[in-house]
Amino acid sequence: MNKGLNKIIGIFLVVFLIANVITVIRFNNITEDINRNFNKLNYLEKNIDELSENINKVNSRQDWITSKDYKVLEIDKDYKNITIMIYGNLKELENNSKMYLLYGKVGKTSSDEIEWNKVSLDVSYGLKFSKTLKLPYNEDYRFKVLAESPTKSRSEELLYVYFKNEIKNRISTHIFENTNSNDKDKDYTRLDVNIDNNYKSQKKFKVKNILINVYKNNKIEDTISVYEDGKLVKNSDIKEIPNYDKNNNLIDNDDGKVEKLNYNVKIKNDDKEGPKKKFEIVIEDYMGQKFIEEYPKAK
C-alpha cells in the first residue's frame, strides 16, 4: 500500500516539476517577446524623433522669419488699451524692399475674417525688426510681415496673440485641504494654496495681495491676509512651501517671468457642528485686478 502511494506521489511530483519547467520556459519566451517588442518600440520612437527633428530643420530652413515674439510694454489702468512691441529676425531681404507689419483683429467666428491694417516696419542691422503698437486690449490679433520690392512681394505669418485670454488667464491655482498634516489639533483646517503667475516680466502683473475669506452659511465669517504688498504676512499659522525641481533641487519662486507662490494656511474651526465652511481665495495684482478661486469649488 505504501509502495503504491509512494509511486503515485512520485508520479505527481514528476508531473509537477515538468509543468513548472514548461511554465518557466513559456514565461521566458513571453519575456523575450516583450523585450523584443520593447526594443522595436524604442527603435520606432527614435526614428519618429529623428523624422520630427528633420522636418523641423527643413521647416526652419524654409522659414523667412527666423525668430519672433512680443513684449507687453504698458496696459492702461482701465484695461482699455495695451501697448506692445512686436519683434523678430528675418533670414534674408531683397534690396530696395519696403517692409510692413500687417495686423488685424481676429473675427468672432473665424480667424480668417480680418480687416488688415498696414504700417511701415523698420529693419536694422542683422535683419532685426521691431514695431511698437497701441491696441484695444479686449481683442485677439493676427500679425504678418510683408516685404514689397520692385519685382515681387513676400509675406509670412508672424503671430497670433490672444491678449485678453493670455493676461486674464495667466494665473493658475491649485487649492486643496491638507489631510496629511501631523497636527494633532483637529480644531484646525489646513489649506495648501499653490499659485503660478505668468506675469510676463511685468511688475504690475505680479501678485500684490492674497487673502482668504472664510464663509459660513454664505456669510464671511473671517478674512485671513496671507500676502500683503508682495510679501508674506508674518503669522505662525501661515507657512511658505519651498519649490523643488524634478531632481529635488530647491529652486527660486520667481524666475523673472513666472512666480510660484505656495503656502500652507492653518484656519481655526470655531465649532465642530454645522454646515461645512467655504473658502474664497482672492489674488490681487499691482493693477488692482482680482482673481478669485473658491474651495471647495461650486458644483
Which of 100-114, 172-186, 222-236 is the most confident on average? Answer: 222-236
Q: Is the pLDDT of residue 274 over 50?
A: no
% of the chain residues with pLDDT over 90: 37
What pLDDT score does 291 carry?
93
Q: How confident is the model at residue 158 (pLDDT cuts 50, 70, 90)?
A: very high
What pLDDT score does 151 carry?
86
What pLDDT score does 226 carry?
96
Q: Is the pLDDT of residue 185 over 70?
A: no
Structural domains for the chain:
65-164 (2.60.40.10), 170-295 (2.60.40.1930)
Distance CA 237, CA 193 (A): 13
What pLDDT score does 56 carry?
53
Q: Is the pLDDT of residue 175 over 50?
A: yes
Q: Is the pLDDT of residue 251 over 80?
A: yes
Distance CA 287, CA 142 (A): 26
How confident is the model over 121-151, as pLDDT tens digits? 989 888 999 999 999 988 889 999 999 988 8
What pLDDT score does 53 carry?
60
What pLDDT score does 281 carry?
96
What pLDDT score does 264 carry?
94
Q: Is the pLDDT of residue 203 over 90?
A: no
Kindly report the average pLDDT of the chain as a whole number.
83
Q: Is the pLDDT of residue 276 over 70?
A: no
Reported as half-sphere exposure (CB side, CA atoms, 13 A), residue 234 has a value of 0
Distance CA 285, CA 167 (A): 11
Reported as half-sphere exposure (CB side, CA atoms, 13 A), residue 249 has a value of 3
What pLDDT score does 41 carry?
74
Nearest to 87 by CA among 65, 103, 106: 65
- Non-local CB neighbours of 133 within 8 Å, separated by 6+ positions: 83, 84, 85, 86, 101, 103, 119
Cβ burial of 139 (10 Å; 0-12, 13-18, 19+) is middle
